[in-house]
Structure 1
Amino acid sequence: MDEFLEQIRRSGVTLTPELAAAFAGLPREAFVPDGFRRNGGGWARPGDDDFLSLVYQDDALVTKVRDRLPISSSSQPSLMALMIEALDVRPGLRVLEIGAGTGYNAAVLASIGATVTSVDVQEDVAGRARAALARAGVEGVTVEQGDGYAGHPGGHFDRVIVTVGVAGISPRWLDQLEPDGVIVAPVDHAGMHPVLAARRPATLADPAGPLTAGLVCHAGFMTAAGPLSATHPGSFPPAAGARELGELTEFAPARFDPPLEGIPYRDLWYASGVWDRRTSHAAVPGVQQSSLALIDDDRSGGAVIFPDGSVRTAGPTLLGAEAASILDRWIAAGRPAVSMWRVGFTLTGDPEAPIWVPGSWELTS
C-alpha cells in the first residue's frame, strides 16, 4: 500500500494525511470484483497472478465496455485525489456525486468524513456500486439511479463532484448547493475535459449565477449521457479520425526544441480552445497520441499543431495561419499554464434543460 501512495504522489499530488489514510484503508479490489480491461487488451480478472498489482497502479480501471468503447470505470487515483482536494471536503459535509462508477470515489469521500449521495444514470452501474460499498464495509454513501442533470431533487449539499465529462454545470446542482458551496467538474473544452472548481459567492442573490471557476488540472473523461453532454452554440467540433482530414502538408516549421510534452502541450491546447472554437483533436497516421487540431466548420480540412510547434494543414483550409497565430499568442503570453485561466459561465442550450457553459476567460497572474 505504501507503493500505491507513492505512485499517487509521483503524479504530482500532495496527499493530506486524511486522504492518504483513505486510500490506504480501502481495498480497491473490492470495487472491481468482475475485473477490468487491461491497457494492452484483454480482461484482468480476480485470480490472475498480476490482478492485485494492476489494481494498485495509479491507473484508471475500465470496468464496462459497449461497442469497444469504455462507458464506466474507476478513475485514476491521482486524478481522484486532485479533484477531492479541490473539493475542500471536511468531516460532516454533504457531497453530491454525479457518476457513481465503481463506488470507489464515493468510498474515499466517505472515509474522510463526508456523507455522499451518488447518482448514476446506468442502473446496473448503480447496483454494482452499492454492492461494492457494502462489500468494503463503507458507510455514509447512498447510491441512486437517475439522470445526473437533475442532481438529487430535494437534496441540499455543501459540495458537488462530477466524475464524468460534461458540457457544463447543471442549474439543478446550483439549486441544491448551499451558499459558498463548491462544484468540481470535468467540463468539455476542445475535446478534453479539464477539471474546473466553481465556487458560488455566499452573498449571491441569484442562485443561478454569476458563476466563475478556476482550473484544477488537465483530464480526459468518459462523456455523460443526456442533457449533460448536449451540444450548444459554441460547442467544439468532434475529433477528426485518422483519415478524415486527408493528407497533411507542412505549413510552418518546428518552433520547440525539445518538443512540448505532456502538460505543456495540453496548456497550449487549452489556450487554443480559448482563442478558437474550432479547436479539437485529430488522429494522425503514424502518431501514437491524438494531436491538437483546428477543424474547418464543414470538416473539409484543418490544421494540426504538433508538439514541436510545427503546423501542417489538410484540405482547402485557411486555418494554417490561425494555428500559427495561436502559437505566437501563447508564446507572447508567457506560455500560460492551464491553472492561470479564470472562467466565466453563460447559460445556454435547450430551454427545457439549460446548462451553464464556459463563455469567457481571463488570464490571472
Structure 2
Amino acid sequence: MADTRRHYLDLIRQDGVHLTPELAAAFATVPRELFVPTGFRRRDGGWVAPADPDFLATVYRNDVLVTKLNGDVPISSSSQPSLMAIMLRALDVRPGMRVLEIGAGTGYNAALLATLGAEVTSVDVQEDVAVRARAALDRAGITGVRVTAGDGYLGDPDARYDRIIVTVGVAGLSPHWFAQLAPDGLVIAPVEHAGHHPVLSVRPGDPATAAVVCSSGFMAAAGPLGARHAGSHPSSAGALPELAETAPARWSPPLTTVAYRDLWYAVGAWHRRATLATPADWDRTRLVLLDEAGSGGAAIQPDGSVHAGGPEAARCTAVATTLIDRWLELGRPEMRGWQVGLALDGDPAAPIWVPHTWQIVQGRAPR
C-alpha cells in the first residue's frame, strides 16, 4: 500500500501540480478506497467493485470516480485528485480555519480538508449522498467534519467561515455565501464559462472580483446555482453535423491542451455563443461558436484551423478567425491572466453573482 500511495502522489504531480508537504501528507494518508465502498464507474463505462483485482490500483489513479448516476448521467463522484489538489492549494487552508464545502460527494475532499487542520461543514442537496459521505468519514476515522443535507444555495446561515469551496459546477455564487464569509475570506468555485467550469478564486467586495485558478469540468448544479442569466453561454451543443474546413491551420505544432484551453477561455470572454460540441466524425469535443439556431456554427481546432457548417458557416468562420487574431495579438494570454468582475443576475427570486466583465491583467508566453 505504501508503494501505491507513493505512485498516487507521483501521478498527481505529473499534471504539473505542486503539492505542499501538508497536501502531500493528506493525499498519502487519507484512504480513498474507504470513500467508494460499493465501487464506482470507470471511464469506459464499466463498474469497478471492491472485489475486483484492480480495485485499489484504479482507486489510486489520478482520475474521477463516478459513484452515482441518473440513468447514464453522473450526479455524484470523487473528483480528479490533481484538480482537488489545485483547488485545495488555492483555498489556502490553515489549521483551525472553518471551511464550508458545497457538495459533499463521497466525503473524500472533506477528509483531506480535515487532515489539513480545517473544521469542515459539508452541505449536499442529495440526502443519500450526505448519508454515505458521513458513513465514509466515520469508517476512515476522520473527525472535524459535519455533513448535512440541504440546499447549497443557502449555505450554512448559522455560522461564519474563513473559506468556502464549491465542488459542483455553478453558473454563479450565492450571496448567502458572501454573507457567511469572514472579512478576509475567499471562495473557490468552478463557474460556467463556454461549456466548461473554470475554477475561480473569488473575494467579495463592491464589486466582487475573481481570478482564474485553472480549467475544469464539473457536474452542473440545478436550481438557483445553475440558473441561466444574461451572460450565459449556450449549453453544450452535443453533436453537430459534419463540418468542412473553412479557414486553414494557423500554426504548427498544434496548441497543447493547456494552451488550447487558454484560447477557449479568451473566446468565451469575448463571445457569448462560445461553447463545446463534438462535430460528427470527430473523436473529441472542441471549442465552437454556435449559430443562433444552435444547429451549426464554427469549430476552432488546436492548430488554429476553423471548420464550419450550417447556414451561418461563413459568418461564424469570420468571427472565429477574428477572435483567434485577437488572442494572438494579445500574446496568447493564459487563462490565469484574467480578472473577472461579478454582478448579480440569475433568478430574481434567488440571485447569484455571475461573471460580468473580463480584463487581462497578466500576459504570459505560450506553453
Identity %: 61
**Alignment partners' CA distance in 2, 1:15 and 1:323:** 38
**Alignment partners' CA distance in 1, 2:43 and 2:166:** 24
Please report how far the alpha carbon of residue 349 of structure 1 lies from its aligned counterpart in structure 2 after TM superposition: 1.4
**Matched residue type, 1:259:** P
Corresponding residue of 1:347: 344
**Matched residue type, 1:306:** Q
2:242–2:280 contact (8 Å) kept in structure 1:
no
Corresponding residue of 1:25: 29
1:63–1:73 contact (8 Å) kept in structure 2:
yes
1:64 aligns with one of 63, 68, 71 = 68
Please report how far the alpha carbon of residue 84 of structure 1 lies from its aligned counterpart in structure 2 after TM superposition: 0.5
1:305 aligns with 2:300: yes
**TM-score under structure 1 length normalisation:** 0.96
1:300–1:316 contact (8 Å) kept in structure 2:
no
1:230 aligns with 2:227: yes
Corresponding residue of 1:127: 131
**Alignment partners' CA distance in 1, 2:147 and 2:283:** 38
Please report how far the alpha carbon of residue 6 of structure 1 lies from its aligned counterpart in structure 2 after TM superposition: 1.0
**Alignment partners' CA distance in 2, 1:10 and 1:219:** 17
Please report how far the alpha carbon of residue 9 of structure 1 lies from its aligned counterpart in structure 2 after TM superposition: 1.1
Please report how far the alpha carbon of residue 241 of structure 1 lies from its aligned counterpart in structure 2 after TM superposition: 2.4
Corresponding residue of 1:137: 141
2:194 aligns with one of 168, 190, 194 = 190
1:288 aligns with 2:283: yes
1:73 aligns with 2:77: yes
**Alignment partners' CA distance in 1, 2:92 and 2:102:** 17
Please identify, of 35-44 and 115-124, the stretch whose mean Cα deviation from structure 2 is larger.
35-44
2:231–2:355 contact (8 Å) kept in structure 1:
no
**Alignment partners' CA distance in 1, 2:219 and 2:34:** 22
**Alignment partners' CA distance in 2, 1:359 and 1:41:** 38
2:47 aligns with one of 43, 47, 57 = 43
Corresponding residue of 1:103: 107
Please report how far the alpha carbon of residue 234 of structure 1 lies from its aligned counterpart in structure 2 after TM superposition: 1.5
**Alignment partners' CA distance in 1, 2:94 and 2:265:** 31
Instruction: Find runs of 4+ consecutive structure 1 residues off by over 2 angstroms.
Output: none
Question: Which ranges in structure 1 are unaligned for 5 or more consecutive residues?
Answer: none
Q: CA RMSD in A?
A: 1.0
1:270-322 CA-to-partner distances (Å, cap 9, x unmatched) read: 00000101000111122221010001222142111111111111111121100
**Alignment partners' CA distance in 2, 1:105 and 1:13:** 17
Corresponding residue of 1:319: 316
1:95–1:160 contact (8 Å) kept in structure 2:
yes
Corresponding residue of 2:365: none
Corresponding residue of 2:119: 115
Corresponding residue of 1:269: 264
Please report how far the alpha carbon of residue 186 of structure 1 lies from its aligned counterpart in structure 2 after TM superposition: 0.2
Please report how far the alpha carbon of residue 261 of structure 1 lies from its aligned counterpart in structure 2 after TM superposition: 2.7
Question: Which ranges in structure 2 are unaligned for 5 or more consecutive residues?
Answer: 363-367
**Alignment partners' CA distance in 1, 2:94 and 2:103:** 21
1:188-213 CA-to-partner distances (Å, cap 9, x unmatched) read: 0000000000123xxx5xxxx32111
**Matched residue type, 1:288:** D
Aligned pairs for 1:105-254 within 5 A: 105-200=109-204, 209-242=206-239, 245-254=240-249
**Alignment partners' CA distance in 1, 2:131 and 2:200:** 28
